[in-house]
Amino acid sequence: MTTTTTTATTTELVPYDDAVARFDPVLGLEVHVELNTASKMFCGCPTEFGAEPNTQTCPVCLGLPGALPVVNAKAVESAIRIGLALNCSIASWCRFARKNYFYPDMPKNFQTSQYDEPIAYGGWTDVDVDGETVRIEIERAHMEEDTGKSLHVGGATGRIHGADHSLVDYNRAGIPLIEIVTKPIEGTGADAPAVARAYVAHLRELVRGLGVSDVRMDQGSLRCDVNLSLRESPEAAYGTRSETKNVNSLRSVERAVRHEVSRQAGRLAAGERVVQETRHWHEDTGVTTSGRSKEEAEDYRYFPEPDLVPIAPSPGWVEELRAALPEPAAERRSRRQSEWGFSDLEMRDVIGAGALTLIEQTVDAGATAGAAKKWWLSELARRANDEGVSLDALAITPTQVAGVQALVDSGRVNDKLARQVLDGVLAGEGEPEEVVESRGLEVVSDESALASAVDSAIAANPDVAEKIRDGKVAAAGALIGAVMKDLRGQADAGRVRELILDRLVRHGES
Amino acid sequence: MSDSTISREHVAHLAHLARIDLSDAELDHLAPQLAVILESIAEISTVAADDIPPSSHALPLENVFRADENRPCLTAEEALSGAPEVDQQRFSVPRILGEGA
Amino acid sequence: MSDLTRLSAADLAEALRNGDTTSVQATQAHLDRIAAVDDAVHAFLHVDAEGALAQAEAADDRRAAGGDVPALLGVPVAVKDIATTKGLPTTAGSRILEGWIPPYDATLVARLRDSGLPILGKTNMDEFAMGSSTEHSGYGPTHNPWDLERIPGGSGGGSSAAVTAFEAPLAIGTDTGGSIRQPGAVTGTVGVKPTYGGVSRYGLVALASSLDQAGPVTRSVLDAGLLHDVIGGHDPLDSTSIDQDWPSMATAARQGDIAGMRIGVVKELGGEGYQVGVRTRFEEGVDLLTKAGADVVEVSCPHFVHALAAYYLILPAEASSNLAKFDAMRYGMRVLPDGVDLPSAEQVMEATREAGFGDEVKRRIILGTYALSSGYYDAYYGQAQKVRTLISRDFAAAFEQVDVLVSPTAPTTAFKIGEKRDDPLAMYLNDIATIPANLAGVPGMSLPSGLAEEDGLPTGLQILAPALHDDRLYRVGGVLEALFQEQWGGPLVPPELEVSG
Ligand SMILES: [Mg+2]
Ligand SMILES: [Zn+2]
């Protein structure tokens, strides 16, 4: 059903701390990962993000009459690898099923998915949450296809409600998705939001490590639905849950859980009941609002997809894939932490920022771990934040970051200039070297130029020079400032200081 | 399953699930007609023992895959050629209620 | 030379090879015949004279260029409107697809083009192949050339009528529960449903995916074999397509010997509920097989009596899902509900499907939606799938004892248009003998067994073989056809049709 119900959202929110003091939250997370295969799940169309509308479709993914699906072998392989990395059992025999419901962005009006026979089931993964390990049980990981994208026109701000029509682009329709579903996550108490965030960050690193998806939350190649319910006590039965759809940044995952805890606590405290429904997350206001009510539960009329035949992965194939799995995330983390000598806190920031792989690659390109971390977690993190994208979405590669650091190490640029080099690279002006050239950012190392700048500064500020001669060395700062200003910052401040003191103090002594 | 009667309300519900705006006349006509059909196939529940496996396919094929390779797409013009309404190289559809599942 | 439309496809191909005629002449002759009789028969929904003649010319050029050419090069063909044809309208007999022109060819259509068979046009059918009379076409019924008051069978009545009326030497049909074989029986023509997966389903508007199968509709067993050889074989675009080499069906049709073959008469198909004339002609056929040296025994397939019930759960269930795509969003008809300003997509879907689908289609969509809906799945769809297993086991057991099975194709001869139109159950009974083959995926052929004494209308005999052994149908069919025609002094020919303008 797609009937929208307006459930009372007037109830007071209960402050988070009071809410978790009074109720026990139970979490469930459904993550959809878009695979980075060359072709779609059931046809040969490309999967590139951001192509011109409706240029990556064919009779199959457009759902034209007569067209038939054929399974992409690579997508099945990726699904099995994800399942194995999550310590799941791999089904020895499974099928696709049709999930029947009408929606304009779904060309066939059924989604080819998996129902009671997922390819991977019954796994677990250990997530680091503020230094302690939390084991998340995985219910299942199954294969399905993505839908098209709708542009809502007219009415308010491109929002679906109030729009007077929609424009549909089917380029995304049929891109392979792996849906990863956790078992109910209990006993997290007040940490529920942190656990939810840490799990999604962990999953993102794990999948990126497998190389089967871009896991770009900002581009929707990793999407998260948050299920949450409250109960009086850990002993009590589960409460009614809400499903908050498309929570698409780590920060939002954390905020959405916090908000739902406060909201549901508010309803329960007011003696109202929580409605089982789909809710929408609003990034801007940080609240969820009611979507489809599930009071009148959907009837998807699942049945085995007759146009596809069963999949029976041979044990040999599965073992081959298992043997080729990359190092488990936890082990990789602790290995890197000791290699790099980061504190637990530093490592947590690295994981939280999704920078583990980026830093590894920057180190491989020649930078020290410390320097790599400094750039990614401070300067670049700030820029990513301003642009509202994830770190790996920035227009700069780990190799380029290492290049910038190399310029600093060689003394050719100082930190201030290095930041301008980053700006240049991010602005697409080329490699760090080229930016230094084109923007003329090299520090002045030519002694005579430095000397004359120092002399003119002394000449221009006789009284300051006098103070320094009288031993007030601290006053040198003013002259250094003048020289740096004169050289537009392109000088090594330390060297300038030396020259000034040579002239004013050491002379005096000799 | 033994009772294969089907109410007018039930038929109306099924029609909504199937997105067909049946007229009252059709509902009046269809409900009894479906009841007759269901009566005639009611035997089905008594035929097969529990240990009989279901067949979703006529023949037992398995593991039919394609290599992860690109094939030519339709042009946007071809893709949109049958569309009742097109705007900005997209399929223009009436306003959508709620969200997809 | 003599009227080109009266030749079998094999003879026409021979004449083309010998240079006695050209594809352009043959194609033009059939287009003229269509112009002369199709107002009365209404076998075609769309005739593509220009395209067919262009393909005919290309075929003649290809032959002139010399070298190896396909056996049926230049022989025209009619295609059921359920197969997508690039640039040619494809409606599957439904108003909801009126005016839709597919941007791609079905695999079997591409194979017809590759082998140089000019496509005359698209033939009429029950809407989305739901029916046994072609009365449920959204574009009006097709008439049986033996008696224009009567139905030509269905859903492929357009294809069977077209070959019967000499409007085409060859036609393509699809068979989900008998839609090739039952029309063959009631029009006195040959129709073959290949093994499921023997002919690609890519580009066939799906009715019931696990049952649908395309095949030849012709006036002779050999012609069917020749056409089967063109359209059959593995297709990587259809996951259920069988990946193996097939023997030539034409060669099997020419073999001409069934001595020592074991043939089983299915106890449950025939007798009670079958018209007297149908039974008599069937028994004559069985005698001829015995005379030809086959040893004929009776075999029992106890679960066949439940085939109809299983079929009328599985088909509507799959159809309700397959037909969901017709929603007015991407192609086809879009109807706005009246009295609603700024209607929602949901309302437009409901209005369009209400206006665009016919009664039978709505009936089966609702039935299928019911069979799949929560709380009913196990009792209906689940049970039907189990019965399907039992029917396959019956076939397996039978084929332990015999090489092929035989039965009447349809319980009656052609009935009057309108006679059963609003009596679904009576209509469904037409397929009682053909449905088991679809449920089990085994191949089946219907060939003419004569004319019923009581009404002088054609009757059909069905041959069933184990999956993958389609060649047995042609081997037995070829021999039986020859023996029948010996008795009749030639093939069955319908009365001359009134020729218009
Ligand atoms: Mg899903
Ligand atoms: Zn495609």
Ligand closest to Cα of A57 equals: 2
What are the catalytic residues of C?
80, 155, 179
Question: Angle C249-C254-C258 (CA atoms, 0-180°, nearest 5)?
Answer: 95
Nearest residue, CB atoms, A65 vs list C84, C239, C329: C84
Is B47 touching C (CB cutoff 8 A)?
yes
As a whole number, mean pLDDT of residues A109-118 equals 97
Q: Which two tokens stand for residue A425?
A: 């690279």
Residue C95 has which token pair? Answer: 């108003």
The whole-number pLDDT of residue A452 equals 84
Convert the pLDDT of each residue in A289-300 to its tens digit. 988 665 456 799
pLDDT at A5: 42
A392 or A243, greater pLDDT: A243
Those residues whose C-beta lies under 8 Å from the C-beta of residue C176, and which sit 6 or more positions away, are C129, C155, C207, C208, C211, C212, C213, C315, C438
- The Cα A158–Cα A290 span in angstroms is 18
Among all bound ligands, the one having the nearest atom to the CA of A41 is 2
pLDDT tens per residue across span C355-376: 999 999 999 999 999 999 988 8
Q: Which residues, in sequence order, are bridge partners of residue C173?
A: C215
Cβ neighbours of B101 (radius 10 Å):
17
**Residue count (chain C):** 501
Instruction: Starting from the CA of residue A43, give the closest ligand.
Output: 2
Q: List A128's β-bridge partners, or say none.
A: A133
- Touching C (3+ Cβ pairs <8 A), the chains are A, B
**Residues C371, C380: contact at Cβ < 8 Å?**
yes
Q: Which residue has the tokens 């809410």?
A: A19
CA distance A69 to chain C (A): 7
pLDDT value of residue A456 = 86
Q: How many angstroms separate the alpha carbon of residue C106 from the centre of ligand 2?
A: 16
- Range name among A241-250, C200-209, C282-291, C403-412 with the lowest pLDDT average: A241-250
Q: What is the pLDDT of residue C292?
A: 96
User: Would you state the pLDDT for residue A6?
Assistant: 43
- Average pLDDT in the C248-269 region? 97
d(C-alpha C350, C-alpha C32), whole Å: 42
Q: What is the pLDDT of residue A293?
A: 62
pLDDT of res. A79:
98
Q: Which two structure tokens, joined as six digits, stand for A196?
A: 């939810």
**What percentage of residues in chain C have a pLDDT greater than 90?**
95
CB C241 within 8 A of CB C213: no
Contact C383 B44 (CB under 8 A): yes
Residue with more model confidence, A5 or C294: C294
Give A157: exposed, middle or buried? Use CB within 10 Å, 0-12, 13-18, 19+.
exposed
What pLDDT shows up at residue A156? Answer: 63
Name which of B21, B57, B91 to mutate to probe chain A: the one with the most chain A Cβ atoms within 10 A of its Cβ: B91
Contacts of B97 in chain C (CB under 8 A): 344-346
What would the pLDDT profile of C50-95 be if each residue is shown by its tens digit? 999 999 999 999 999 999 999 999 999 999 999 999 999 999 999 9
Mean pLDDT for all residues in chain C: 97
Residue A507 has pLDDT above 70, yes or no: no
Please, what's the b/e burial string for C451-466 (b: 16 or more CB within 10 A of its CB; e: otherwise)?
bbeebebbbbbbbbbb
At residue A329, the pLDDT reads 73
Average pLDDT over every residue of A21-38: 97
CB nearest B99 (choices: A245, A304, A309): A245
**Tokens 């007018």 belong to which residue?**
B8
**Residue C501: predicted pLDDT:** 57
Contact C350 B74 (CB under 8 A): no
Give me the mean pLDDT over the A33-41 stretch. 98
What integer pLDDT is reported at residue B101 of this predicted model? 37
ipTM of the complex, rounded to two decimals: 0.96
User: Where does the pLDDT of residue C2 fall: very low under 50, low under 70, confident under 90, or very high at 90 and above?
Assistant: low
Indicate if the pLDDT at residue B72 is higher than 90.
yes
DSSP element (H, E) containing A107: none
Average pLDDT over residues A397-406: 94
CA angle C425, C430, C435 (to 5 degrees): 100
The answer to whether residue A3 scores a pLDDT higher than 50 is no
Q: What is the pLDDT of residue B98?
A: 62
Nearest C-alpha neighbor of B39 from the set B3, B71, B81: B3
Does the distance separating the beta carbons of C237 and A109 come in below 8 Å? no
Residues of A whose CB is below 8 A from C372: 100, 301-303
Does the pLDDT value for residue A20 go beyond 90? Answer: yes
Strands A277-282 and A89-90, sheet pairing: unpaired
Which of A163 and B15 is assigned the larger pLDDT? B15
Which residue in the block uniquely carries the two structure tokens 């459904």? A30
Name the residue facing B91 among C330, C370, C388 (closest C-beta).
C330
Neighbours of C54 (CB within 10 A): 14
Task: Please give the average per-residue pLDDT across B33-60, as a whole number.
Answer: 90
The CA distance from B35 to the nearest CA of chain C, in Å, is 10
* Assigned token pair, C351: 């209005």
Tokens of C46: 């769309």
CB-CB neighbors (< 8 A) of C424 in chain B: 33, 36-37
For chain B, which chains pass the contact test of at least 3 CB pairs under 8 Å?
Answer: A, C
pLDDT in tens, C270-316: 988 899 999 999 999 999 999 999 999 999 999 999 999 999 999 99
Confidence label for C1 from pLDDT (cuts 50, 70 and 90) = very low
The owner of tokens 């029917």 is C391
A-C CB pairs within 8 A amount to 100
A158 confidence band (pLDDT: 50, 70, 90): low
Contacts of A108 in chain C (CB under 8 A): 324-325
- Candidates C84, C383, C429, C464: best to mutate against B (most CBs of B within 10 A) is C383
Taking only the tens place, the pLDDT of each residue in C131-164 is 999 999 999 999 999 999 999 999 999 999 999 9
For residues A384-406, one letter each, b for 16 or more C-beta atoms within 10 angstroms of the residue's C-beta and e for the rest, the string is: beeeebbbbebebbbebbbbbbb
Which residues does C280 contact at the CB level (< 8 Å), separation at least 6?
C452, C453
Is the Cβ–Cβ distance between A177 and A33 less than 8 Å? Answer: yes
Helix H or strand E segment including A120: strand A120-129
Residue A380: Cβ within 10 Å count? 20
Cα Rg of chain C, angstroms? 22
Contacts by A150-159 with C-beta closer than 8 Å and gap 24+?
A150/A104, A150/A105, A150/B93, A150/B96, A151/B88, A151/B90, A152/B95, A152/B96, A153/B87, A154/B95
How many angstroms separate the CA of residue B100 from the nearest CA in chain A?
Answer: 6
Residue A331, pLDDT > 90, answer: no
Q: What is the pLDDT of residue A8?
A: 45
Average pLDDT over residues A138-155: 94
Reply yes or no on whether the pLDDT at C247 is more than 70: yes
- Nearest CB to B56 within list A106, A299, A306: A306
Distance from CA of C106 to the nearest CA of A (A): 7
Q: For all residues of chain A together, what is the average pLDDT?
A: 90
| A456-479: pLDDT as tens digits | 888 888 888 888 888 888 888 888
C239 and B64 in contact by Cβ < 8 A?
Answer: yes
Q: Is the pLDDT of residue B3 over 60?
A: no
Tell me, in angstroms, the distance from the centre of ligand 1 to residue A179's CA: 6
pLDDT for position C190:
98
Cβ–Cβ below 8 Å for C392 and B48: no
> Can you say whether the dihedral through the CA atoms of A173, C334, C325, A111 is positive or negative?
positive
Model confidence at B49: pLDDT above 50: yes
The chain B residue lying nearest C302, using CA atoms, is B47
**Across A476-500, average pLDDT:** 82
User: Which residues are within 5 Å of ligand 1 (an ion), measured at CB?
Assistant: A 179
Alpha carbon distance C403, C42 (integer Å): 39
Nearest to B66 by CA among C341, A40, C415, C325: A40
Mean pLDDT of the region C417-421? 90
Report how far ligand 2's centroid is from the alpha carbon of A59 (Å). 6
pLDDT band at residue B1 under the 50/70/90 scheme: very low
The yes-or-no verdict on residue A508 having pLDDT over 60 is no
Q: What percent of chain A has pLDDT over 90?
A: 65
